[in-house]
Each structure stands twice: as C-alpha cells, then as structure tokens.
C-alpha cells in the first residue's frame, strides 16, 4: 500500500509538466524551492526546538553570492555554486556560534538581528549588491548541456534537487544524531548529563540547516535570474517559519505542505484578490485554531479517528 502511494506520487510529479500549463509548472518549481527552504528551517525549529527568525540569511546569501560571482567575476555556475555554498556554510558557522550563546527568545532575536544585518548590507552596499535595484542579467545553469530555460526543464531540475535534499534530511532526522538533536530539544540538561555535547549538537544542526537553506537559495536565484534585498528580509524568514508551523513543525511532510500553502496563496490568490495577505492571515488563524500543531499532524489525527469509527 505504502509503496503504491509513493509510486503514484512519483508518477504524478513526473507527469505534471506534460499536463499542466507553464504557469502551473513554474508555480510547482517555486513550491519545490519554498518546500526545501522551509524543510531546512524545520530541522532547527521542529527537531532542535530552536526557533529562528533569520533563515532568510541562507537563501539570500547563497543567491547574492552566486549572482555576484557570475556577474562580477564571470565564474561559471559549476564554480560559483560550491563557492556560494561554502560562503553560506562559513557564515552559518559564525552566526550559529553567536546565536547559540542564547536560547529561546534570545536565540530568536539574535537570528533576526543577524539576518537584518545582511538585509541592510544588501540595501546599502550598492557597489556589490546594486542596492535596491538588485542584481539582474543572470542565467540558469545548463547541467550536462541541458538548458533549464524551459519551465519543464527547470521543474525537473528543482524536483531532483529538492528530492535528494529532502531524502538526506529525512535520513538526518532518523539518524542517531537526529535522535540526539530531538533529545536536546526536549531535555537539554539530561542530554548533557548523558554525555551529549548539547551546544555542539545544536551548532552542527544550525550549520546543516543553513547549508540546505543555501541550496534553496541557489535554486531561487536560478529560477528568478534575479536577486533583490527582499530575499533577505524579515518577511522572507517569517514566510518560511509560517510554512513550518502551519504544516507541522517536527514532521517531514509538514513544511512541504505549509510552504505549498503559503506559495499558492501568494501566487494564485493574489491574481484575484489584492489583499492576499489578509487571506493568508485568515488561513493561518483557522489552521492554528483547528489544528494547533499544523496541517499534517492534524490531518493524520483526523484520519486515525475516521479509521477507528
């Protein structure tokens, strides 16, 4: 039964570009990117109990680095991608070291402040970032000589990367390290008394989560062929966090569902409704009222109740 469901999902994802129009194929590509981004944040929020409001740092930093390296240094995508990821990892190592001096609300505020520093830098350091105009004139990579300019081609590219990323994150969560991370979320003092280095576990999780956020950043800049300071804004961090919480923090499917809800509301509904933000707010109020721990755990519970009847 289980593998049948997986096969059906794989088949429909593979067939989608053949049936859907360009608008929907592009929307799906953006959902993959947002899902990957929210899932990376979920490692911290859901599994580590570390609520960050600065996750935009990683999508933005990788996007800017990749754009700058190809525009100003003329590097190929093959060279700029690992460099952008390395920069994001180094920055995540530093930010994590700073932010993990605090926990709880303090951690949230420090991550927010650090991401705001990057956002401000993107606005003000015009010589590098081109300020409010953003960096444009970018190209998409062409892996193995296959152009990704067609929506369907990019769709498969984003799907492949997101699938591998989610699979590795699922392994991470189910691994001994993942169990230790959840332990530090639930009872950090006990974990320390058991011999677990709570600080180091959290720091590694922070850097790992930043890495996947940066991978989402690369996909983001490849998709839009443009990067603007709003990528680094609080709104960008908050949208991802909203996706994680609405979908179900600490579940693998939750952030994927949550990110999809946010993106569909943002892109689809905004075409018909000018105040789409209001609808987004309303949807989240309803989710929080009826499924306080998110859509995925909520639906799962309802399903179990229905089966028992």
Partner 1 sequence: MTPALELRGLKKAFGGLPATNDVSLAVPPGERRLIIGPNGAGKTTLFNLVTGALKADAGTVRLFGEDISRLKPHQRAHRGLARTYQIITLFPRDSLEHNVVLSLLGLSNARWNTFRALAGEAALHAEARRILGLVGLEARAGRAIGEVSYGEKRRVEIAMALAQKPRLLLLDEPLAGLSREERSGIRALIKGIPRDVTVVMIEHDMDIALDLAERVTVLHYGNVIVEGTRGEVVADPRTREVYLGNQSATHTETADSDRDIHPRR
Residues in Cβ contact with 22 at an 8 Å cutoff, skipping those fewer than 6 apart = 151
For residue 178, give Cα distances in angstroms to 170, 172, 175, 185.
9, 6, 5, 11
The beta-strand segments (E) located in 153-277 are: none
Q: How many CB atoms lie within 10 A of CB 255?
A: 35
Buried/exposed code over 26-37 (b: 16+ C-beta within 10 A; e: otherwise):
bbbbbbbbbbbb
Smallest distance, partner 1 to C-beta of residue 189, A = 6
219: its two tokens: 């996909």
Nearer to partner 1, 8 or 174 (CB): 174
Nearer to partner 1, 138 or 204 (CB): 204
Smallest distance, partner 1 to C-beta of residue 178, A = 7
Q: Give the separation between CA 268 and CA 260, rounded to whole angstroms.
A: 11
Nearer to partner 1, 141 or 183 (CB): 183
Among 56, 81, 78, 57, smallest CA distance to 67 is for 81
193: its two tokens: 């008394």
Smallest distance, partner 1 to C-beta of residue 48, A = 13
DSSP secondary structure code for residue 47 in this structure:
I
Which residues bind to partner 1, rule: CB under 8 A?
168, 171-172, 174-180, 183, 186-187, 189-198, 208
Smallest distance, partner 1 to C-beta of residue 191, A = 7
Smallest distance, partner 1 to C-beta of residue 301, A = 15
Nearer to partner 1, 90 or 194 (CB): 194
Smallest distance, partner 1 to C-beta of residue 199, A = 8
Nearer to partner 1, 174 or 273 (CB): 174
Smallest distance, partner 1 to C-beta of residue 171, A = 5
Q: Give the separation between CA 270 and CA 160, rounded to whole angstroms.
A: 28
Q: Give the separation between CA 13 and CA 158, rounded to whole angstroms.
A: 12
Nearer to partner 1, 32 or 208 (CB): 208
Nearer to partner 1, 76 or 175 (CB): 175
């Amino acid at each position: 039964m289980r593998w049948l469901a997986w096969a059906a999902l794989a088949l429909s994802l593979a067939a989608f570009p053949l049936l859907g129009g360009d608008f929907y194929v592009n929307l799906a590509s953006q959902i993959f990117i947002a899902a990957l981004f929210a899932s990376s944040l979920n490692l911290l929020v859901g599994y580590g109990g570390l609520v960050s409001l600065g996750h935009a740092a990683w999508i933005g930093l990788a996007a800017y680095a990749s754009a700058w390296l190809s525009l100003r240094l003329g590097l190929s995508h093959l060279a700029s991608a690992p460099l952008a990821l390395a920069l994001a990892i180094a920055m995540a190592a530093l930010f994590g070291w700073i932010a993990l001096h605090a926990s709880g609300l303090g951690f949230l505020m420090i991550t927010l402040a650090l991401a705001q520093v990057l956002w401000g830098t993107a606005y003000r350091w015009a010589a590098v970032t081109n300020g409010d105009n953003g960096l444009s004139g970018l190209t998409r990579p062409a892996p193995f000589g296959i152009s990704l300019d067609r929506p369907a081609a990019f769709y498969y590219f984003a799907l492949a990367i997101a699938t591998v990323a989610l699979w590795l994150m699922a392994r991470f969560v189910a691994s001994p390290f993942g169990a230790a991370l959840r332990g530090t979320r639930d009872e950090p003092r006990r974990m320390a008394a058991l011999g677990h280095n709570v600080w180091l576990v959290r720091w590694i999780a922070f850097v790992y989560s930043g890495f996947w956020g940066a991978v989402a950043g690369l996909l983001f800049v490849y998709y839009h062929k443009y990067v603007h300071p709003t990528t680094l804004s609080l709104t960008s961090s908050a949208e991802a966090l909203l996706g994680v919480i609405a979908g179900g923090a600490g579940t693998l499917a939750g952030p994927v569902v949550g990110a999809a809800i946010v993106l569909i509301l943002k892109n689809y509904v905004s075409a018909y409704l000018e105040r789409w933000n209001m609808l987004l707010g309303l949807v989240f109020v309803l989710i929080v009222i009826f499924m306080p721990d998110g859509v995925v755990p909520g639906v799962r519970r309802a399903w179990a109740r229905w089966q028992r009847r």
